[in-house]
Amino acid sequence: MDNSGVTGKLWDIFCRVIDNYGDIGVGWRLSVGLAARGQQVRFWVDDPSALAWMAPEGAPNVEVRHWTQPIQTEGLAPGDILLETFGCEIDPEFIAAYADWTRARGKKGLWINLEYLSAEGYAERNHGLPSPVMTGPGAGLCKYFFYPGFTATTGGLLREPDLAERQARFDRADWLQQKGIAWQGERLVSLFCYEPPALADLLDQLATGPQATRLLVTAGRASAALYTCILNKNRLHPSWNKRELLSINYLPQLSQHDYDHLLWACDLNFVRGEDSLVRALWANQPFVWQIYPQHDDAHHQKLEALLEMLDAPPAWRAFHKVWNGVNSLTEGKASQQPRLPNLALDSWQQVVTSAGQQLRLQDELVTQIMLFASRHL
C-alpha cells in the first residue's frame, strides 16, 4: 500500500551508461519500483540496448526513451519530478523547459540527483541537502542530493516489497535444470567481476577442494577474464585441476530476475559494483565484493567503510583486500600481491544474515524517495 502522499506523478529519470551496466541496472530498478507504486515514469537512457536482456518484458507505466544528443522532446511536456542518476547532467534545454513548465503552472518543481551508494560517513551528512540553482536555464530551481545507504539517516537500498515472498518460492534445483546446468549437489559459486588480481588464486583454491565446486560465470568481463586466466594456467600448469574438483559453466546474459535467481542458487557469490552488491545482501548468502576501481585508489576507503559497516571478521576483510588488490605497504613501496586467504563461509554467513536482518528493518529506497518527494512538492 502506498502511504507516501505522492500520487499519480510523472517522473523523468535520466541515466547514462558509462562502461558497465550498474547505472542502467539501478535506474531501471528505481523506475520499475516507482511505477509499481502508481507513478508514471519516463526512463531516459543514452544506450537502452542492455534492457533487451536485462528487462526483456519491460514494465507497466515505464516508458523507455532513447536519450539522444540533442534530446528529442517534440510533443512532450516535462514531468512533475526530474531525477538524474549519478550526476549525469540533464540537457540544458530540458531543464529550461522544466523550469518554464513549473512556473507556468504555479507549482514548485523537484529536481533530485540520485548519488552512488557508499557506507562512508559523507552519505549520511549529505543526504537530502539542497543545492539552489543560481545560474543557467535552471535558475530558481533547487537540486536535492539523495544518497542511498545502509543506515536510517540515508535513503536506504532498493528492495521490492515482494522480494522475500519470491525468495521463499524459489526452487534451486528446478532453476538450475531450466538453465541447463547439470548440478549434482556440489558447491555452487557465482562469478561476476572485473579483472581481479587474485582470480588465478581463487581457481587454485576451488580446484584443490576440500569439496567439489561448480563455478557459474556471468557473461561479459567476468567470462573474458576467466577465459584468459584459464588459458594462462593451462599453459603454465596444465595439471592445475587434475582432480577435476572444479567445473565451470559460462552463462548467457541474465535478466535482473534471473540474476537474483543465480545469487539465491549459489553458496557463495562474487559480485561487483553497486547493484549486484545490494542484490547479494538480499540473497542472504556469503559474498565477496569487487569494488569499481578508481585511478586514485579512492575505492579502497569505500571498501573499508563497507567492511566496517558489516563488522566483517578479519578473514573476510583480508579476503576482500586481496581480491581487490589492496596491498599492504612496505617501506613506502607496494608489497608483492599476497595470496588469497582460504574461504571461511560459515563465519561470513553469520555476518550476512545479521546485516540483512538489520537492513530489512529500514524503509527501502523507493518508499523513501517518494516520501522525500511528498515533502518537497
Among the listed residues 80, 84, 115, 274, the single catalytic one is: 274
User: Is residue 99 within 8 Å of residue 138, measured between CB atoms?
Assistant: yes
- Per DSSP, the residues of 246-310 read EEEEE-----HHHHHHHHHH-SEEEEETTHHHHHHHHHTS-EEEEPPP-TTSHHHHHHHHHHHHH
SS3 (DSSP) at 138: coil
Decide if domain 10-158 falls under CATH 3.40.50.
yes
Which triple of cell numbers denotes residue 65?
526513451
Residues sharing a CB contact under 8 Å with residue 327, sequence separation 6 or more, in sequence order: 334, 335, 336, 337, 338
Q: What are the pLDDT digits (tens) for 348-364?
A: 999 999 999 999 999 99
Q: Give pTM, 2 decimals.
A: 0.94
Residue 297 has pLDDT above 80, yes or no: no
Among the listed residues 23, 80, 260, 364, the single catalytic one is: 23
User: Is residue 40 within 8 Å of residue 8, measured between CB atoms?
Assistant: yes
* Domain 10-158 and domain 163-359 have a common topology: yes
297 is annotated as an active-site residue: no
As a whole number of angstroms, the distance between CA 367 and CA 34 comes to: 9
Q: What are the pLDDT digits (tens) for 35-70?
A: 999 999 999 999 999 999 999 999 999 999 999 999
274 is annotated as an active-site residue: yes
Domain range list for the chain:
10-158, 163-359
Cα 349 to Cα 77, 109, 337, distances in angstroms: 50, 45, 27
Cα 208 to Cα 201, 202, 338, distances in angstroms: 11, 10, 19
Residue 333 has pLDDT above 80, yes or no: no
Closest CA to 261 of 196, 177, 184: 177
CATH number of this structure's domain 163-359: 3.40.50
